[in-house]
Amino acid sequence: MIYTGYILTCLIGWLIVPKLAARLLERAALTFALGAFAISIEMFTFDLAGIGWNRWILLLPWLLLAAFRIYQGRGQQGRGQQGRGQFTFEADPFPAWWQIGLVVLALVPVAIWWPYERVMPLTSSAWDAWAIWLFKANAFYLDGTIDPFLARAAEFTDHQPGYPLLMPLYGAFLYTLNGAADDYAFKMASVCFCLASLGVFHYLARRAGGPGPALVSTVMLASVPMLNVLAFELAGYVDTTLSFYLLAAGGFLYFWWRDGNRFDLVAASLAATAAAWTKNEGQFFLLAIVLLGVARLFFGRRPPLEWGCLIAPPAALLLPWTIVRGGHGVEAAGFAMGFNFDPKLFTVAADALLIEALRWDLFVLTFVLLAGAAVGAALLRMSAAFWILPGLVVWHLSGALMAYSTGQNDLQWWLGTSADRILAQVVPLALLPAAVVFSSWIERQSADEPPAGKLESMPAPLGKREKRRRKSR
Amino acid sequence: MKFNSPQLALGALLIAWLVLAAPPLRTQIDKTLRTRALFEGRDADQRTALVDNPGFRVAQEIGIAVPPSGCVVVLAYAGPAAIDYYQSRFAYFLYPRKVMVFDAVDRTQDGCGYLAVFRDTAQNLVNEPFAGRWNQADLAQRLSGLEPVRSGELTRIYRVP
């Protein structure tokens, strides 16, 4: 039933955003992550309202939404319009041989890691998975609410009761659907988010340029060993989930800066809120998204509605959580960065992070390529929007360095247990600038040459208006 | 295609990337095959027991004897780090039961209805030697007035009046 729950999660996401200019698998990736986020908000909202978690009660809002979408679609069909409520995606043109080859290459690492044994309970080496995330999901499911666990927070200090709730609440939803806790099946959520990361990465890279660089960089992403370690060997950790939302938030914010489309702003704000609702590192990242958003809104003199699009999602979700947590006397996990700052610790941590980032057996050339993309962008004189992408990676890693510099824990132990995961969280986001730069390079070169022989031989589907214009010629 | 074409650069980068990514993937294939062989023919509980020796099995035995609303004090002959591990592990497996793990036979908890006693495996004790207070005579005296509820393979569980 939990596996059915993963499919249901995609459908719920699809119900929320029935139309999006994305291919089928890209849509599945985006809607899965959106669905998981929406379900966790539903669980939290029901809990605040005192509505008990029951399989049918939890499904009721989505069934009503499905009925509304069907009604909406029929109504528009009756009026002879293309229904806004219909479930659509971009049709995939038949791929070229090199595209099929690249898709197969992208699936090879996943296939190597795929056997179910990889997500079995390697308990002593995956502390955070069961001690924090799976434990909370189980406790919330058994109690049918979040209150009893938070009320016993003093008993569970090792289990980080103050950590955010996206994955525990999503797990509690799947367990409620299943009628029993099933840690093994829930650990597959990490694998789902890993695959979703590939899908959304391809979507963002394809939007940024042509299908060639998008597919090639997706293959590169799929074969980053640390990303696979995180998704399969450390299944149950939420770093894979976080890395998805960091990528989506950064990518959509880039497109909003570049194109000014309000949909991208909403998507960036929701993804950043989901990141903050997933893990503490996401809260620091959300701050960057909000600051960049405010800067663009303020200097671009954007309409007030866009201020609401940026601020409302984090305020509506994170403030109630802060109140609930504070009501139980549970301290926010983390610490005040900047206070207790020790420059010596900062230097040690920066050195360690740099050495770790350059380990090709973990990250291949991800961070070398990020630096290369920055150089390439400077040579190509790319727009200010581009610099958001590497800037967010640097911001995220700076946040981690500031945390290490507080000396909250023994630094060597702390680095040893978290540095690789912190870097892995930003791997998808760190690879996106390279895809953007290659796309831009190809675009500029093809502007000087005839298009024959281009790698990006597959044009983007034409819009309705463009089709009509060409027909009328 | 020009020598400095971005397509050529992208293709070369992809080849270099895959060459670098190949050895870790090769290692992973070996690891996957080893794991598969280890778990062959075992169900989920047996697999967990295999990699979580003996925490999972002890928790299973306590879970059978102590009701979900109950509280259990676990006296564990185990090393200091192992005590912390078992505390977290049992809290996870046995929720919503209240669990406290101690490495001293005289430790008590008011209002706690059950007492469990277990000894870590010899292999674990070699890696993490015991450092608490453990006197067999004191333990025998403490257990003498208690009602045995379950005597499992690894654990003895008593009801505390």
Instruction: Check residue A385 and report its DSSP letter.
Output: G
d(CA B109, CA B73): 7
Are the CB atoms for B66 and A108 separated by under 8 Å?
no
Check residue A127 and give left, alpha or beta (phi > 0: left; psi -120 to 50: alpha).
alpha
SS3 B105: coil
Closest CA relative to residue B92, chosen from A333, A129, A40: A129
The type of residue at A373 is A
User: Distance, in angstroms, between A403 CA and closest chain B CA?
Assistant: 25
SS3 A462: coil
User: Quick check: A120 and B36 CB within 8 A?
Assistant: no
Rg, chain B, Cα only: 25
d(CA A165, CA A223): 30
Instruction: Extract the tokens encoding A37.
Output: 């986020």
Task: Write the CB contacts of A435 (distance below 8 Å, at least 6 apart in sequence).
Answer: A204, A205, A208, A209, A213, A214, A216, A217
The 10s digit of each residue's pLDDT in A336-366 is: 555 677 888 899 999 999 999 999 999 999 9
- Give residue A379's pLDDT: 92
pLDDT higher than threshold 50 for residue B18:
yes
Closest CA relative to residue A314, chosen from A352, A346, A285: A285
User: Distance, in angstroms, between B99 CA and closest chain A CA?
Assistant: 9
Closest CA relative to residue B102, chosen from B72, B73, B62: B73
SS3 B61: helix
Instruction: Extract the tokens encoding A460.
Output: 């983007």
What number is the average pLDDT over the span A235-240? Answer: 91
- Give residue A241's pLDDT: 96
- Give residue A92's pLDDT: 65
- Give residue A386's pLDDT: 94
Residue by residue, DSSP assigns A54-67 as -HHHHHHHHHHHHH
Check residue A322 and give left, alpha or beta (phi > 0: left; psi -120 to 50: alpha).
alpha
Q: CB of B50 within 8 Å of any CB in chain A?
A: no
Are the CB atoms for A141 and A128 separated by under 8 Å?
no
pLDDT higher than threshold 70 for residue A66:
yes
Out of A158, A365, A442, closest to residue B17 by CB:
A365
- Give residue A157's pLDDT: 83
Out of B6, B21, B52, closest to residue A442 by CB:
B6
Out of A112, A134, A159, closest to residue B25 by CB:
A112
- Give residue B6's pLDDT: 86
pLDDT higher than threshold 50 for residue A158:
yes
Instruction: Check residue A460 and report its DSSP letter.
Output: P
Judged by average pLDDT, the poorest of A46-60, A233-247, A453-467 is A453-467
Q: Which of residues 151-190 of A touch B (CB under 8 A)?
A: 155-156, 158-159, 184
Q: CB of A112 within 8 Å of any CB in chain B?
A: yes
The 10s digit of each residue's pLDDT in B146-155 is: 888 988 878 9
Size of interface A-B (CB pairs under 8 A): 115
Are the CB atoms for A458 and A211 separated by under 8 Å?
yes
Which ranges in A260-330 belong to alpha helices (H)?
262-278, 280-299, 304-327
User: Quick check: A442 and B36 CB within 8 A?
Assistant: no
SS3 B101: strand
Nearest CA in chain A to B56: A123
Instruction: Extract the tokens encoding B152.
Output: 């499992």
Closest CA relative to residue A322, chosen from A276, A269, A271: A276
User: Distance, in angstroms, between B132 CA and closest chain A CA?
Assistant: 21
User: Distance, in angstroms, between A7 CA and closest chain B CA?
Assistant: 23
pLDDT higher than threshold 70 for residue A325:
yes
d(CA A30, CA A201): 10
Confidence of residue A335 (pLDDT cuts 50, 70, 90): low
User: Distance, in angstroms, between B13 CA and closest chain A CA?
Assistant: 9
d(CA B14, CA A216): 7
Per-residue b/e over A62-71, b at no fewer than 16 CB within 10 Å?
beeeeeebee
Judged by average pLDDT, the poorest of A55-64, A80-89, A180-189, B76-85 is A80-89
- Give residue A86's pLDDT: 54
Residue by residue, DSSP assigns A68-125 as HHHHHHHHHHHTTSPPTTS---BPPPPPPHHHHHHHHHHHHHHHHH-SGGGGS--GGG
Number of Cβ within a 10 Å radius of residue A253 = 27
What number is the average pLDDT over the span A216-228? Answer: 93
pLDDT higher than threshold 90 for residue A310:
yes
Confidence of residue A85 (pLDDT cuts 50, 70, 90): very low
Contacts of B25 in chain A (CB under 8 A): 108-109, 112, 223, 225
Out of A121, A138, A216, closest to residue B48 by CB:
A121
pLDDT higher than threshold 50 for residue B117:
yes
Check residue B42 and give left, alpha or beta (phi > 0: left; psi -120 to 50: alpha).
beta
Interface test with B, best of A223, A233, A369, A379 (most B CBs within 10 A): A223
- Give residue B43's pLDDT: 82
Contacts of A115 in chain B (CB under 8 A): 32, 35-36
pLDDT higher than threshold 70 for residue A456:
no
pLDDT higher than threshold 60 for residue B2:
no
Are the CB atoms for A282 and A164 separated by under 8 Å?
yes
pLDDT higher than threshold 80 for residue A77:
no
- Measure CA A219 to chain center: 18
- Give residue A330's pLDDT: 85
Confidence of residue B33 (pLDDT cuts 50, 70, 90): confident
DSSP-assigned beta bridge partners for residue B133: B104
The per-residue pLDDT of chain A, averaged, comes to: 86
- Give residue B140's pLDDT: 87
Q: Which of residues 312-331 of A touch B (CB under 8 A)?
A: none
Closest CA relative to residue A282, chosen from A420, A186, A425: A425
DSSP-assigned beta bridge partners for residue B115: B73, B158
Instruction: Extract the tokens encoding A414.
Output: 């702390």
Confidence of residue A466 (pLDDT cuts 50, 70, 90): very low
d(CA A285, CA A393): 9
SS3 A344: helix
- Give residue A446's pLDDT: 78
How many residues would you count in chain A?
Answer: 473
Q: CB of B134 within 8 Å of any CB in chain A?
A: no
Of A83-87, A229-233, A423-427, B107-111, the range with the highest mean pLDDT is A423-427
User: Quick check: A156 and B91 CB within 8 A?
Assistant: yes
Domain boundaries, chain A: 2-53+107-449
What number is the average pLDDT over the span A409-419? Answer: 87
Instruction: Extract the tokens encoding B148.
Output: 């045995």
Confidence of residue A253 (pLDDT cuts 50, 70, 90): very high
Contacts of A120 in chain B (CB under 8 A): 35, 39, 44, 47-48, 51
pLDDT higher than threshold 60 for residue A72:
yes
First-last CA distance in chain A? 54
User: Distance, in angstroms, between B137 CA and closest chain A CA?
Assistant: 31
Confidence of residue A125 (pLDDT cuts 50, 70, 90): low
Nearest CA in chain B to A450: B1
User: Quick check: A109 and B7 CB within 8 A?
Assistant: no
pLDDT higher than threshold 80 for residue A256:
yes
Contacts of A159 in chain B (CB under 8 A): 88, 91-92
User: Quick check: A360 and B20 CB within 8 A?
Assistant: yes
Instruction: Check residue B104 and report its DSSP letter.
Output: B
d(CA A317, CA A325): 12
Residues of chain A with pLDDT > 70, as a percent, come to 87
Top-tier CATH class for B54-159: alpha beta
Nearest CA in chain B to A105: B18
Judged by average pLDDT, the poorest of A90-99, A103-112, A215-224, A283-292 is A90-99
What number is the average pLDDT over the span A311-333? Answer: 89
- Give residue A73's pLDDT: 79
User: Quick check: A121 and B95 CB within 8 A?
Assistant: no
DSSP-assigned beta bridge partners for residue A340: A338
Q: CB of B53 within 8 Å of any CB in chain A?
A: no
What number is the average pLDDT over the span A184-206? Answer: 93
Contacts of A216 in chain B (CB under 8 A): 10-11, 13-14
Contacts of B18 in chain A (CB under 8 A): 105, 219, 223
- What phi and psi, each to the nearest 5 degrees, are found at residue A390? -65, -30
SS3 B157: strand
CA distance to A104, A138, A326, A373, A434, per residue, from A376 (Å): 29, 48, 47, 5, 9
d(CA A270, CA A285): 12
Judged by average pLDDT, the poorest of A34-43, A86-95, A139-148 is A86-95
What number is the average pLDDT over the span A167-171? Answer: 96
Instruction: Extract the tokens encoding A162.
Output: 């103050």
- Give residue A377's pLDDT: 93
What is the β-pairing status of strands A337-340 and B114-119? Answer: unpaired
Closest CA relative to residue A63, chosen from A75, A55, A53: A55
Instruction: Extract the tokens encoding B130.
Output: 């015991």
User: Distance, in angstroms, between B103 CA and closest chain A CA?
Assistant: 18
What number is the average pLDDT over the span A272-291? Answer: 95
What number is the average pLDDT over the span B112-141? Answer: 87
Out of B5, B88, B98, closest to residue A445 by CB:
B5
User: Distance, in angstroms, between B32 CA and closest chain A CA?
Assistant: 7
Contacts of A365 in chain B (CB under 8 A): 13, 16-17, 20
